[in-house]
Chains A and B, each alone.
Chain A
């Protein structure tokens, strides 16, 4: 995880992770890094988001780590890609990568609550443990 200063005991740590930092990691390293941070009670903001396959594996690994009274899962939000994945088929033919274009917020399910979300805004309430 990112090097941090000592977290304030009564605050919420937010990790803003750059596209460059994530690009150097394998899928499982990304997922491990996100979940380790979230399980410490931090909010993770990814500049570039995850690919659909990584999102699928993130859900799967999250499920395997849920424990009663300890970890109830994650809240994750990114902007919806309405209108479809226009770079999908032709984009791949042209060698373009359509994955990872969306800013994504991930936090512990018991500490972050989405208040409002549409194509242009994500409004969330973050609370301490």
Chain B
């Protein structure tokens, strides 16, 4: 199993290097994951570190990001080399969106309904990007949550079926309940990188892995 998976990942990466970037365009790296995993916080951290600008607003309210946002030409320097990528911050993927969950965040019904409608459009948009428009994926998980969810299983399966290079980021390691091993055990076929996008913990390794996987 491990050998075949390693071989598959290696061949996949070689294929990418051979065919994906023939025109020299930066690769589009999609930041995916369930709602509230910290995708936008990570996108902002990367963008601020290397371009000085943010990508979008962060919030504790689920589905704060309801449109995919692209930050172009993010140049990451590692070991004397520069890797240029476009970061695509995508809405959190879910199979259900109930406007009533927004009512718990001090919203009126009208606002909650509007927000849920935008959220559903955002999830559909994220799926479309995944099938058509990204060259690699950073999959962000909240390390305090159980990674064995159907959405995670399905999305990782979709990413694997498309032979996209993927890194799993175990986010929120600054929190007491964070459990990195649980994520590694759930997806042993992929590299898991622990970090806190909010606090900036372990970002050196984050950038090294991005440069290694998406060069």
| A59 beta carbon closer than 8 Å to chain B | yes
| B158 beta carbon closer than 8 Å to chain A | yes
In the complex, A72→B113 CA distance in Å?
Answer: 11
A52 x B5 contact (CB < 8 A): no
B158 x A52 contact (CB < 8 A): yes
One of A1-9, A14-22, A24-32, A74-82 contacting the partner: A74-82
B160 x A85 contact (CB < 8 A): yes
| B96 beta carbon closer than 8 Å to chain A | yes
| B208 beta carbon closer than 8 Å to chain A | no
In the complex where A52-B161, A68-B116 touch, is A84 in contact with B96 (Cβ < 8 A)?
A: no
| B202 beta carbon closer than 8 Å to chain A | no
User: Within residues 1 to 18 of chain B, which ones have a CB less than 8 A from any CB in chain A?
Assistant: 1, 4-5, 7-8, 11-12
Chain B residues whose CB sits within 8 angstroms of the CB of A84 once the complex forms:
1, 5, 8, 160, 188-190
User: Within residues 126 to 167 of chain B, which ones have a CB less than 8 A from any CB in chain A?
Assistant: 127-128, 130-131, 148, 150, 153-154, 157-158, 160-163
In the complex where A77-B150, A83-B188 touch, is A72 in contact with B97 (Cβ < 8 A)?
A: yes
In the complex, A89→B12 CA distance in Å?
Answer: 9
A63 x B150 contact (CB < 8 A): no
B8's closest neighbor in chain A, by CB?
Answer: A89
Residue interface bits B88-122, CB-to-A below 8 A is 1, else 0: 00000111111100000000000001001100110
- Other-chain contact of B161, A53, A83, A90 (Cβ < 8 Å): A53
- Other-chain contact of A56, B8, B97, B130, B160 (Cβ < 8 Å): B130
Smallest beta-carbon distance A96→chain B, Å: 12
In the complex where A84-B189, A117-B148 touch, is A63 in contact with B158 (Cβ < 8 A)?
A: no
Most chain B beta-carbon contacts within 10 A, residue among A51, A55, A99 = A55
Chain A residues whose CB sits within 8 angstroms of the CB of B97 once the complex forms:
63, 66, 72-73
Chain A residues whose CB sits within 8 angstroms of the CB of B153 once the complex forms:
78, 80-81
B148 x A73 contact (CB < 8 A): no
Q: Would you list 20 pairs from A and B whose C-beta atoms are within 8 A, ordered by A residue?
A: A52-B158, A53-B158, A56-B131, A56-B154, A66-B116, A66-B117, A66-B120, A73-B96, A73-B98, A74-B96, A78-B150, A82-B188, A83-B189, A84-B5, A84-B160, A85-B8, A89-B11, A90-B8, A99-B161, A109-B95
